[in-house]
Amino acid sequence: MKTALVEALRQAATQLPEDVVSALKHAREIETSPLAAAQLDAILENVEIAGSDRVPMCQDTGIQTFFVEAGAASPHLASIRDWIAEAVPAATEAIPLRPNTVDPFTGANPGNNLGRFMPWINWEIVEGDEITITILPKGGGSENMSTVKMLPPGVGIKGVKKAVIDHIVSCQGKPCPPTILGVGIGGGADIALKLGKKAVLRTIGSRHPEPEAAALEAELLELANASGVGPMGVGGATTCLAVHVEYAHRHPASLPLGILVQCWADRRARVQLRADGTVEVI
């Protein structure tokens, strides 16, 4: 299992998922600004080099975050935390990954991407006996642009739209656009952010199963791209590759809005562990 996790961490750092590559290629095809086109060409060349040389596509190999969908009947639940904690330092050395965990008080860096509460694991108990682990190595530049806003409920969904577009435009080139936005609505401050982060994990091109949320995704994407911020903030047609929405019911007095910003290097990998112990990196 440790080997599979190290392999998945390598895949995440070096191979951009096919849906992201397709979205970037589409952005290049429709781009008319030569400055923006040069950015997208450099991104696509970079992705190709990283994939063929099996080296990280970005020097910021991120904080390694794990989303575990744990089948309640899996016999391996108790081992997951240890496996992840062993795989991260091994991957840091083998790939290599940049040591990115820093003590907030002393600034000390243990050099292996471990630390207090790190790597962070998000748990979700699901039916069945399989465990699916999704890895999201997320860079600091885009995470710094993520935010939560507690809107007055009276502004409604129009207020949500304005807040999302105003925010992503104010970020300009800083989160390395074209970005993927995870928009979490409702729940509470922490829940809105968590829903947003979960929404980021979805495949580009997918839509929320409910029509209102799906329509909001399409509208926000179109509006963000009408802003003209463009690839890397140099001006152009594509500011966002995708907008994914997730929501929860809210308190009558609150309209929490979590905006999760993911850079173009939308790195993800998945490991599936069956009850019989067989493992697959998908």
Partner 1 sequence: MERELTLPIDEAQARGLRVGDILYLNGKIYTARDEAHLTMLEAREAGEDIPFDPGAMALFHCGPVVRKVGDAWDVVAAGPTTSIRMEIFEDRFVETFAPRILIGKGGMASRTQCALEKVGAVYTHYTGGAGALAAKRITGVPAVYWLEELGMPEAAWIFEVERFGPLLVTMDSAGGNLYRELDRTIEENMKAIHARIDDS
The residues that touch partner 1, with contacts defined as CB under 8 A, are 35, 38-39, 41-43, 45-47, 49-50, 53, 55-61, 96-99, 109, 139, 141, 144, 158, 161-162, 165-166, 169, 172-174, 176, 219, 223, 226-229, 232-235, 263-265
Q: Which is nearer to partner 1, 112 or 272 (by Cβ)?
A: 112
DSSP for residue 34: H
Q: Which is nearer to partner 1, 153 or 235 (by Cβ)?
A: 235
Q: Which is nearer to partner 1, 3 or 52 (by Cβ)?
A: 52
Exposure b/e, 94-121, CB count within 10 A at least 16 = b:
ebebbbbbeeeeeeeeeebbbbeebbeb
Q: Would you call 40 helix, strand, or coil by DSSP? A: helix
Nearest distance from residue 60's CB to partner 1, in Å?
8
Nearest distance from residue 186's CB to partner 1, in Å?
19
Question: Measured between alpha carbons, how far is 85 from 26 in angstroms, rounded to an integer?
Answer: 38
Q: Which is nearer to partner 1, 16 or 273 (by Cβ)?
A: 16
Nearest distance from residue 35's CB to partner 1, in Å?
6
CB-based contacts of 19, cutoff 8 Å, min separation 6: 203, 204, 205
Burial of 127 (0-12, 13-18, 19+ CB in 10 A): exposed
Question: Measured between alpha carbons, how far is 145 from 39 in angstroms, rounded to an integer?
Answer: 20
Return the sign of the alpha-carbon dihedral for residues 229, 230, 232, 235. Answer: negative
Nearest distance from residue 128's CB to partner 1, in Å?
37
- Pair of tokens at residue 243: 């907008």
Count each helix (H run) and each strand (E run) in the chain, helices first: 8, 9
| φ, ψ of residue 70 in degrees (nearest 5) | -100, 115
Nearest distance from residue 9's CB to partner 1, in Å?
14
Nearest distance from residue 44's CB to partner 1, in Å?
10
Are 275 and 73 a contacting pair, CB within 8 Å? yes
Nearest distance from residue 12's CB to partner 1, in Å?
14
- Pair of tokens at residue 16: 């951009």
Q: Which is nearer to partner 1, 187 or 233 (by Cβ)?
A: 233
